[in-house]
Amino acid sequence: MTHPITARLKARMKLPVIGSPLFIISNPDLVIAQCKAGIIGSFPSLNARPIEQFEEWLQRLNRELSDDDAPYAVNLIVHKSTDRLLADLELCVKYKVPVIITSLGAREDVNQAIHSYGGIVLHDVINNRFAKKAIEKGADGLIPVAAGAGGHAGTTSPFALVAEIREWFDGPIALSGSIATGYGVLGAEAMGADFAYIGSAFIATREARADERYKQAIVDCTSADIVYSDLFTGVHGNYLRPSIVAAGLDPDHLPKGDVTTMNFGSGGNTEAKAWRDIWGSGQGIGAVKAIVPAAEFIDKLKREYAEARARLLGGEPVALAAE
């Protein structure tokens, strides 16, 4: 039986996909395109600077999106370095943001504020221990950020991470980790998730607020071009090798980062700033072949998803290995 919160989210969606919040890159144009195409679109509140712009973005989203569109989400970084958190939270409550994605710490007061108007809180985690803490503190759902995901990714296999969480949690799960095709979306559902959480592929869309060189790098690169390092923010993340080289650094011999200097508001703790100079990306970008409008990419996901379902649930038989 589908969990009530999962059912509530899916009621307005045409594909079980959440477009992940991309630091600097996600903006109202991208989010609106995603929601109108039938997936949840999201953006970090810190992308809107100054805070007055954040309120303008929320006003625009509430004005241009309707109940016929998928809901939108705002990402709040709840780490202590985020000095705008309470002000951003107040605006989220004021404009009744449908879904909040919390990152880098779980806070009961934040969850309670979102629940006060009926909002839904999804919290991203990199392991089962953090998942349990998030639910204990009142999150409604989880985003397991598995090995291969863009940004601050974990190192656990998605198969292991989802299985461990599903042993005790029946609420909404959005799986993150190298998903860039409709086949991957169905695969996420097959292993126990309710949604696929896709970010890096949306960097190579027309609406994304990214440097054109960054977009082209997403198209040109593959999983072999991803470097895992904690240098740039103090927390391990996946980054594009060409951007590290362009910053004058050796991607194969990066020094260890300093977690005590984490500052996600300014975007890094080196002269080469993440994500302005050092470009984040997950390992799934090998499936991205062109820079296209977001709606066109989502249509591709829908076609692939339908093809995968037909093949596995009623189309051509799946070949089994000989014993």
The span from the first CA to the last CA of the chain, in angstroms, equals: 35
- Specify the pLDDT at position 123: 98
Candidates 161, 194, 157, 203; CA nearest to 26 is 203
- Specify the pLDDT at position 80: 80
Helix (H, G, I), strand (E, B) or coil at 95: coil
- Specify the pLDDT at position 1: 83
- Residue 111 class from Cβ within 10 Å (0-12 exposed, 13-18 middle, 19+ buried)? buried
- Specify the pLDDT at position 280: 94
Q: Do residues 287 and 201 make contact, with C-beta atoms less than 8 angstroms apart? A: yes
Candidates 297, 145, 123, 148; CA nearest to 208 is 297
Alpha-carbon dihedral 46, 51, 57, 59, rounded to 10 degrees = 140
- Specify the pLDDT at position 233: 83
- Percentages helix, strand, coil for the chain (3-state, rounded to 5) are 40, 15, 45
| Domains, in order of start, for the chain | 4-209 (3.20.20.70)
Q: What is the pLDDT of residues 215-237, one digit of tens each?
A: 999 999 999 999 999 998 888 89
Q: Do residues 278 and 244 make contact, with C-beta atoms less than 8 angstroms apart? A: yes
- Residue 297 class from Cβ within 10 Å (0-12 exposed, 13-18 middle, 19+ buried)? buried
- Specify the pLDDT at position 274: 54
d(CA 7, CA 101): 18
C-alpha of 156 from chain center: 17
Q: What is the pLDDT of residues 254-283, one digit of tens each?
A: 998 876 555 544 444 455 555 578 999 999
Residue ranges, the chain, pLDDT below 70:
259-275, 315-323
